[in-house]
Structure 1
């Protein structure tokens, strides 16, 4: 450096600076690979321009600091250099990260002694404060270790540097800039023989960091507990009899802190036995007379027991047309409804039931949910419509009389979980009703299914009930796993849809 006082300027690095920057990196990092490829520097500037800082003297770059954003919870743990910069020189910048990660700080040898490195560190700290980030993390080399490697271990060396009994050209500088050593990372940079491959994980905490504290009310819940009722069909003498049994299960599920309670399709069918002399059409319409009362009682239970209830399904008479409807009773008192879309030949022939016209996704305090009533689960189009609306959990209340009927629902439900990257819970009824036509026998094995990938059980079955036994079962499902699957799964079904070939779905509007 010439004797005249340098004219310093600190600024962000520009694309046109690469040749000068590369020359400086080759000079400083000649022992660990030299300059990064142009592509890598250009990518840094493109992804995080504010994090790339240089100091120039009369227009000549004499020092620089390269920085990215990362997830604090991940990179405050042990990692390697290739977790930050891959072997293909791809920088792992996270735009939504809550911490800075210092890649490199380097200064031309002729300008050392002017505390330019401290200026670059202070610029990083200011960037951290201005962006309200938790901390600055860095993986540091300990190149002075090779001088004493025969006499002491790496932990001993680091401790002596911290106590200033030894001087390390990098670690001593970082400690003097208020960084703390959080841990040692073995194999951090294997080719760094001077450091024996070790790195130090350093951290500077931003004491001005203000964590955003979302409202507890509006916080999205990640771990959701599903409760399923495998319902025993039995003779009932009144609505009170039916609802007492239902309340027993709701109370039990609530005691285990379930977020949802799922009942089966036509769980209230025993009430048809109160007037067994009626024809099938008369009996199902007679059953519909109880629906409004049952719905309101379930709504009261949802609020009282602090649990969202999917009240199976019940017949509803509207404008002299009969529908099969499932009600979602929210624990805040709101009520949503989902019509059964596809009507089975039996329902159409023996009960003269009509199908609804649209499927919906419902926002709850535990994610976005949809309901497919029994036969509807066997039509992939409906599940895909729900997926396009961001469904996370699909509930399938069902009634089947034989095992092959049950397996149709089960296998299709598993397919819906895989192809739509969501959880599917199906709940059915067991037992028999000798005095009720068309609902005389039941077969069920209720279960909760997940997508099939490394984040989930190996058989994509989270839990299942014993066949044909009255019981309750629970499943804890993690909604965040669905997000990981969508971007990082072994296969990503939703992202790989050939919309150019078969398009998406437009849900019908202005319909029932």
Structure 2
């Protein structure tokens, strides 16, 4: 290696590069046959030019990655080397394949330690994403196995390499580059005496892979705009008064092309003031009489303004039991509901409210969403149950009267975003209702939180309202970033769960 600072360039391999490439292969692969014939390399360049990548230093090739396309369903199963390159050194490239197959990655010995292999792998991953392919597959040699074959079975060897008790130059490198060992293959390359004929089938999944869609309307939305109404409680004289106020905000959110509008828990509480002399139990049941009408009229607003509405929550009387229910009014006219599951001491004592029995994820035209009503956000089990159903955005309509009550909701919502690798939006109410028993004051600072990693704001806060001020806020959330986080984040909470210790309780609860 030149003692001067390398001047590196990454590019595709050209036919004129063969002599230089062959010399490098002879140097690196002298124990397994050296360079491939010129015909084979030319065939690779001709059939799949984008898949042949090299790194050069001041014009000299010092590393390369050779790649073909294959059918995933075939080569994710056991196979041997000659299924990829036959006895006549003809490459089995499949132009219509849906996965990449890594043939070789090699770097000049003098340049090892500069993480050039990682650059080549990153280029392969980018190629996989750009061509919308399912995965990268590779048959990986284990060249250090022969040294310990008398002491350890090959399965034991793989486990020790994973645990870094042993080092294998190929397998250790592959594991460090986010590849998983899918299976062990025997007789993959019989002449590979150092690997004792074994190889690992390695796989890196492209989390952005999308099946071919017949229409642009079937493409999943990747950037979603959230709108939150920080709602001020005020005297209202009728349901029409409430709907007019709500429509003002929903119209405003729609004008800014928001995909969702979130209102607070019990946003319709001012209607209890229409009969101010009721006691607490009678007042909340009186309020429940308006729920069905409000739900239907909000559904009309969702369709009219082309926006999905999370209508905070409202009391619902069913078969003599009172529940606190949040409604998701889709802009296509469909309606979903999420019952509040954990009931606060206040709700039980003063309003005699019962809790629901199920938490679920709702499919929308702008992502998979869940709803945790206020107190529910303070229970991590519910967020994890939503995560196991693939939630991307959790909405938390809340009502709190004091700042410490608000902070419980806020801090727990931030924890749910981090531990479940999703976005969380919280929306509350402000102001006061002096004529309504038990709903007299409010404190809120609505916000949208993200996971805490390099893909997101440094404080994991995407947007937040001014405290105790009626207003609307917007936040654009990128669903693709959640995929990056899940596979390539600084930490990957969901992937690193100890399911052997605690993995069954949420699954059982969902079922």
**How large is the Cα RMSD of the aligned pairs?**
4.1
How far apart, CA to CA, are the structure 2 residues paired with 1:370 and 1:417? Answer: 12
Instruction: Decide whether the 8 Å contact of 2:302 with 2:309 is kept in 1.
Output: yes
Aligned to 2:432: 432
Normalised to the residue count of structure 2, the TM-score between the two structures is: 0.65
Instruction: Decide whether the 8 Å contact of 2:70 with 2:94 is kept in 1.
Output: no
How far apart, CA to CA, are the structure 2 residues paired with 1:245 and 1:71? Answer: 61
How far apart, CA to CA, are the structure 1 residues paired with 2:48 and 2:329? Answer: 41
Aligned to 2:479: 479
1:506 paired to 2:469? no
Aligned to 1:358: 358
Aligned pairs (5 A) from 1:341-420: 341-420=341-420
Aligned pairs (5 A) from 1:92-491: 127=93, 129-131=95-97, 212=212, 214-491=214-491
Instruction: Decide whether the 8 Å contact of 1:433 with 1:439 is kept in 2.
Output: yes
Q: CA deviation at 1:264?
A: 0.1
Q: CA deviation at 1:475?
A: 0.2
Distance 1:37 1:446, change over 3 A: farther
How far apart, CA to CA, are the structure 1 residues paired with 2:332 and 2:323? Answer: 26
Distance 1:127 1:461, change over 3 A: same
Q: Which has the larger radius of gyration?
A: 1
Instruction: Decide whether the 8 Å contact of 1:315 with 1:323 is kept in 2.
Output: yes
SS of residue paired to 2:266:
coil
Normalised to the residue count of structure 1, the TM-score between the two structures is: 0.65
SS of residue paired to 2:216:
coil
Distance 1:379 1:90, change over 3 A: farther
SS of residue paired to 1:276:
coil
How far apart, CA to CA, are the structure 2 residues paired with 1:462 and 1:39? Answer: 54
Instruction: Decide whether the 8 Å contact of 1:53 with 1:64 is kept in 2.
Output: no
Across the two proteins, how many residue pairs are aligned to each other?
371
1:220-254 Cα deviation digits (max 9, x unpaired)? 00000000000000000000000000000110000
SS of residue paired to 1:441:
coil
Instruction: Decide whether the 8 Å contact of 2:70 with 2:93 is kept in 1.
Output: no
Aligned to 1:493: 493
Instruction: Decide whether the 8 Å contact of 1:272 with 1:283 is kept in 2.
Output: yes
How far apart, CA to CA, are the structure 1 residues paired with 2:495 and 2:32? Answer: 27
1:55-103 Cα deviation digits (max 9, x unpaired)? 89xxxxx86755899998xx99x99579xxxx99887889899xxxxxx
Instruction: Decide whether the 8 Å contact of 2:302 with 2:308 is kept in 1.
Output: yes
Instruction: Decide whether the 8 Å contact of 2:70 with 2:97 is kept in 1.
Output: no
SS of residue paired to 1:473:
strand
Q: CA deviation at 1:379?
A: 0.2
Structure 1 unaligned runs (5+)?
1-24, 43-51, 57-61, 98-118, 135-186, 191-205
Q: CA deviation at 1:29?
A: 4.2
Aligned to 2:26: 34
1:424-477 Cα deviation digits (max 9, x unpaired)? 000000000000011000000000000000000000000000000000000000
Instruction: Decide whether the 8 Å contact of 2:385 with 2:510 is kept in 1.
Output: no
